[in-house]
Structure 1
Amino acid sequence: MTRPLPHLRAAYPYHHPLQTRWADNDVYGHINNVTYYAYFDTAVNAYLAARGALDLQSGAVIGLVVETGCAFFAPAAFPEPLSVGVRVAHLGRSSVRYELAVFQEAADTACAQGHFVHVYVDRGTRRPVDFPDPLRGALAALQPV
């Protein structure tokens, strides 16, 4: 398996600012690897909620994670401010592949990058559903042109 190269900040149409927390660090003095997944989740859901594309509390449609991955390139640590770049690599009928990258404040290359595949389902039945128009529009805006 070939190791990916870190992506550039400009490759991501949306950036969500994050302030690291003391609890994000592990005993080795840097952000723990599992915390990056929480950063990814926060960035995606903040983007969708801000655009009215996803009602996290009572919406009929919710996204379930079915696949994740992450590659690490440089350590980050509290109290660094970070940002998470978000883009959509594939948009299907009910599934989307998000690509995400974490950037340190002054860096143009990612210190970590990964992906999430979400399948959007009916909240009650947990069966896949077509994207509602507002959600499809918000996701389409994250695709490269």
Structure 2
Amino acid sequence: MTRPVPHTRAGYPYHHPTPTRWADNDVYGHVNNVTYYAYFDTAVNAYLAARGALDIHAGAVIGLVVESGCAYFAPAAFPDTLSVGLRVGRLGSSSVRYELAVFREGRDAACAQGHFVHVYVDRDTRRPAPLPPALRAALDALQPG
């Protein structure tokens, strides 16, 4: 298996500021691996909510994670200030592959990067549903030019 190379900030059109918390550190003195997934989820949902593309309580569709992964390159620890870069790697009719990278303040190379795939489904039936126009527009803006 080939080890991925850390991406740089410039490869991500949106960056979400993410301060670390004391509770993010594990007994080894760095941000625990599972915490990066929370950073990813927060960055995606903050982006979508700010653009009116996510209604978590009453939206007709909801996103279900069907795949995720993360590679780690360098440690981060409290009290680091992080930035989570976000882009869309693939956009389908009812799914999206989010690609994310975590950057420490003042660093251009990612300390971790990963992805997750959302399949958007009808809130009631849980069957795949087309992306609503506002959601598609917000996601289109995150695709490479």
**Deviation for aligned residue 1:133:** 0.3
Question: Distance in 2 between the 1:56 and 1:24 partners?
Answer: 25
Question: Distance in 2 between the 1:30 and 1:92 partners?
Answer: 36
Question: Distance in 1 between the 2:51 and 2:117 partners?
Answer: 20
Q: Secondary structure at the match of 1:103?
A: strand
Aligned to 1:104: 104
**Deviation for aligned residue 1:136:** 0.3
Given residue 82 of structure 1, which amino acid in structure 2 is its aligned partner? L
Aligned to 1:128: 128
Gapped runs of 5+ residues in structure 1? none
Question: Distance in 2 between the 1:57 and 1:84 partners?
Answer: 25
Given residue 111 of structure 1, which amino acid in structure 2 is its aligned partner? C
Q: Secondary structure at the match of 1:101?
A: strand
Gapped runs of 5+ residues in structure 2? none
Q: Secondary structure at the match of 2:142?
A: coil
User: What is the total number of aligned residue pairs between the two structures?
Assistant: 145
RMSD: 0.5
Aligned to 1:12: 12
1:88 to 2:88 alignment: yes
Question: Distance in 1 between the 2:3 and 2:92 partners?
Answer: 27
Deviations 1:27-53 (A, max 9, x none): 000000000000000000000000000
Question: Distance in 2 between the 1:143 and 1:89 partners?
Answer: 7
Match runs of 1:1-145 below 5 Å: 1-145=1-145
Q: Identity percentage over the alignment?
A: 79
**Deviation for aligned residue 1:21:** 0.5
Given residue 108 of structure 1, which amino acid in structure 2 is its aligned partner? D
Given residue 37 of structure 2, which amino acid in structure 1 is its aligned partner? Y
Given residue 104 of structure 1, which amino acid in structure 2 is its aligned partner? R
